[in-house]
Structure 1
Amino acid sequence: MNQNTVAVLIGRFQPFHSGHLALLQHALRAAPHVLLALGTAHQARNAKNPFTWEERAAMINACLTVEQRARVAFAPLRDYYDDQRWAASVQAALAQHYPDAQQVLLFGHFKDESSYYLRHFPRWDLQALPRQADIDATRIRQIYFEAEDLDISLAVLQNLIPLPVQQFLRAWSRLPYYATLAQEHAQVMRYKAAWRHAPYAPVFVTVDALVRTAGHVLLIKRGGFPGKGQWALPGGFLDPHENLLQAAIRELHEETGIGVLPTSLQDACRAVRVFDHPERSQRGRTISHLHLFELGTAQLPDVTASDDAAHVCWMPEQDLAALETEFFEDHFHMLNSFLRLVE
């Protein structure tokens, strides 16, 4: 076994299940070192991504022997919603952990169209294995969050997830996150049920507003699920009768009561960017148009939370990076696209 060979596994592991474990065991047999790249890191919890990267690393380590743990490294990855930037971050993580790697084995299986990321590393030796078991993390989360009796639900899952993960899930259910995310999961399921019988899956069009002035940006805290209590940019869904800029200004006034006339906001609009990654929202395919408003005032206009916002505030730009794990869905990355808060 070449000591400079590294196996790489990339996934969200939400949660780590028996199919993941079988894949990891293949990698441990093939290479002396394994890098586990944990996606959707540094992000607020939601019903689709309930566990932090540290919690997922703990789950995985609990399934390994002491000798195996010494051969495994973990790399948390942000969801940049930019394939090239994301692939570069995976390669940078490999170089950081294993700078002397001479051969890289990329382990995975082509589950569905979401597995296209495996083709982003043409210089690595792809080990495309058959699906290890008919196990789906989405279904596991559904059973977990819809449990009326957790003992029964974990008994249903016992052949799908390793025993240490079962124990982790039981303990984690006693934390306050579980009840909150179970509520969020139920709301998202109701949301999807409303359009389940449509002839085609709908594509939702939304607008958001990034308002800057005097070194601050305008943020809200969401008042309802999904993302209740998380920081977000003011915004909402496009109405049939309005154009995008009108919708962005309307949502901005409805949620923040900002003391700026609509005509002044129109004049302050400097740019519009589209965020359309298929996985950016757990509610379904949602395409957002982020409008940048540069007010250029020395004073912060008055704001008052209303409509879907539980709280509104002017946040100093220098404080935004520290709030990364508290933002709704991809809103931090939307901010980051304009402000370059993190690399």
Structure 2
Amino acid sequence: MKTAVFIGRFQPPHHAHLETITRALARFDRLIVVLGSAFCYPTPKNPFSADEREAMIRASLDAVAAQRLHFVAVADDFYDDPRWFRTVRAAVEGLAGPGAEIYITGYHKDESSYYLHGFGNWPFEPSGVASTLNATDVRNSYFAGNADWKAMVPEAVLRFMEQFAATAEFGRLQAEWKTLQYYRSLDQRYPYPLLHVATDATVLAQAHVLLVERAGALSKGAWALPGGYVEIKETLLEAALRELREETGLQLKPSLLKATKAFDYPGRSLRGRVISFGHYFDLGSAPPPAVQGQDDAARAFWLPLDEFEPHQARFFEDHYQQICWFLGRAPQKPVKPQRKELP
């Protein structure tokens, strides 16, 4: 059975996405759509869950075509590309079954399309779709409050997005989008690209990890590692210890530092080009100290590690991946959130 695989974020699905899907269903026995950037906290870049994106795509097709359409959701894995390819392959092959004849379909949009040739024995079959449509333009129009986006998406997607625009979550995302536009306008005043340096602190105590809940304009309500930007006259370690103290009240000795890592994926932050130096502290068998949310943290708390994986979608930026790195774990697929059905 000839199976096509179409990988994307579909944030949101637009006409070119739907045309690619329709063409693939006409040429192959079935199509598996890989929904990327799954299980992450909603942002202006990734506002819709995997279930919402699947529902939008299904609602844009007739029932007969939809029967040959299957979906798998895959999380980002910024710091281990080979592992991401293995995760996608395992998910697709698990769904396609043994002996399936698998092809990658899509189109070369930009440098981010390198994955089209990364699956070895899965041949690349161009979709034949040439379009200037871009989901970034759809989202920018949507959050800016103009109507241009409505001509870029299928009718079912339009209905869902109009309904979503009446929710409190849309209001939060739109406010965040406006804040990001302001930040970018400031960056554009400089004659060269700006690179920002931040630090984050991963603190473990008796199989608990220390987290804060964000209170600021960006990803309000998301769970994060204590951290922030490095000040002019401090070292990276000093910055990590200061942010830890300011956000949680916890004061640690530098000698508790066990490891460091530069988290430098270019798209890790919507704030701009931000490199974060992660600092890993292990308090060993000592019980988790009392902490309290301060500064720009609404609260501080200790999360048991056996409750860590199911909450992947609550984490800010790449902080879930940072914790996985220091724990020596591979990112896991959590239980899928409840679907919001299309009207």
Q: Which residue of 1 aligns with 2:159?
A: 167
User: Structure 1 stretches of 5 or more lacking a match?
Assistant: 148-152
SS in 1 for 2:47: coil
Q: Deviations over 1:158-209 (max 9, x none)?
A: 3311111111111111222111100111111111111013223222211100
1:247 aligns with one of 239, 256, 269:
239
Q: C-alpha displacement at 1:322, in angstroms? A: 2.1
Q: Which residue of 2 aligns with 1:58?
A: 55
1:280 aligns with one of 265, 268, 272:
268
Q: Give the conservation status (yes or no) of the 8 Å contact 1:11–1:37.
A: yes
Q: Which residue of 2 aligns with 1:202?
A: 194
Q: Give the conservation status (yes or no) of the 8 Å contact 2:3–2:29.
A: yes
In 1, distance between residues paired with 2:22 and 2:127? 12
2:70 aligns with one of 67, 70, 73:
73
Q: Deviations over 1:274-322 (max 9, x none)?
A: 2111221112222111111012252322322212211111222222122
Q: Which residue of 2 aligns with 1:150?
A: none
Deviates more, 1:31-40 or 1:273-282: 273-282
In 1, distance between residues paired with 2:21 and 2:192? 37
SS in 1 for 2:232: coil
Q: Which residue of 1 aligns with 2:341?
A: none
Distance 1:101 1:64, change over 3 A: farther
Q: Deviations over 1:10-45 (max 9, x none)?
A: 000000000111111121111011000000111111
Q: Which residue of 2 aligns with 1:317?
A: 305
Distance 1:101 1:55, change over 3 A: farther
Q: Give the conservation status (yes or no) of the 8 Å contact 2:227–2:244.
A: yes
SS in 1 for 2:234: coil
The percent of aligned pairs where both chains have the same amino acid is 38
Q: Which residue of 2 aligns with 1:192?
A: 184
Q: Which has the higher contact order (CA 8 A, sep 6+)?
A: 2
Q: Which residue of 2 aligns with 1:92?
A: 90
Q: Which residue of 1 aligns with 2:28?
A: 31
SS in 1 for 2:75: coil
Q: Which residue of 2 aligns with 1:6?
A: 3
Q: Deviations over 1:142-167 (max 9, x none)?
A: 111111xxxxx34x233311111111
Aligned length: 330
User: Structure 2 stretches of 5 or more lacking a match?
Assistant: 333-343
Q: Give the conservation status (yes or no) of the 8 Å contact 2:321–2:331.
A: no
TM-score by length of 1: 0.92
The runs of at least 4 consecutive aligned structure 1 residues that moved more than 4 Å come to none
In 2, distance between residues paired with 1:313 and 1:106? 44
The CA RMSD measured in Å over matched residues stands at 1.6
2:223 aligns with one of 222, 231, 254:
231
In 2, distance between residues paired with 1:131 and 1:67? 22
1:303 aligns with one of 291, 303, 308:
291
Equivalence map 1:318-337=2 (5 Å): 318-337=306-325
In 2, distance between residues paired with 1:119 and 1:288? 30
